[in-house]
Structure 1
Amino acid sequence: MMNTNYYKAWEEYMALHPEIDEKEAQLMAPKMQSYEEMLFGFVMFLCA
């Protein structure tokens, strides 16, 4: 995992926000996963 104040993986985000119930989490997860993948792709682009 990255050590940053600005980026949180989905699991870290969920741990920090217990007010999000399971139904909301199921709706949010695909969008958040796509953001994580885009961020990873961008970092790889910068490293190339």
Structure 2
Amino acid sequence: MEAVIFGAVFGIIVTVISYLVKIERDLQKVRKELSDLRQQIQVKTITE
């Protein structure tokens, strides 16, 4: 019985960690897009 509980807890932990890693990747992607946008805006204001 303890093995079943341990397995369930372990599964939940692995799921949470992989979910957090996915969120972190998405955040990095969003940050990169934001900085790219910022650079484009700066270039536009400089050229105007």
TM-score normalised by L of structure 2:
0.48
The structure number with the bigger radius of gyration is 2
Q: Larger helix proportion, structure 1 or 2?
A: 2
The one of the two structures with greater contact order (alpha-carbon pairs below 8 A, sep at least 6) is 1
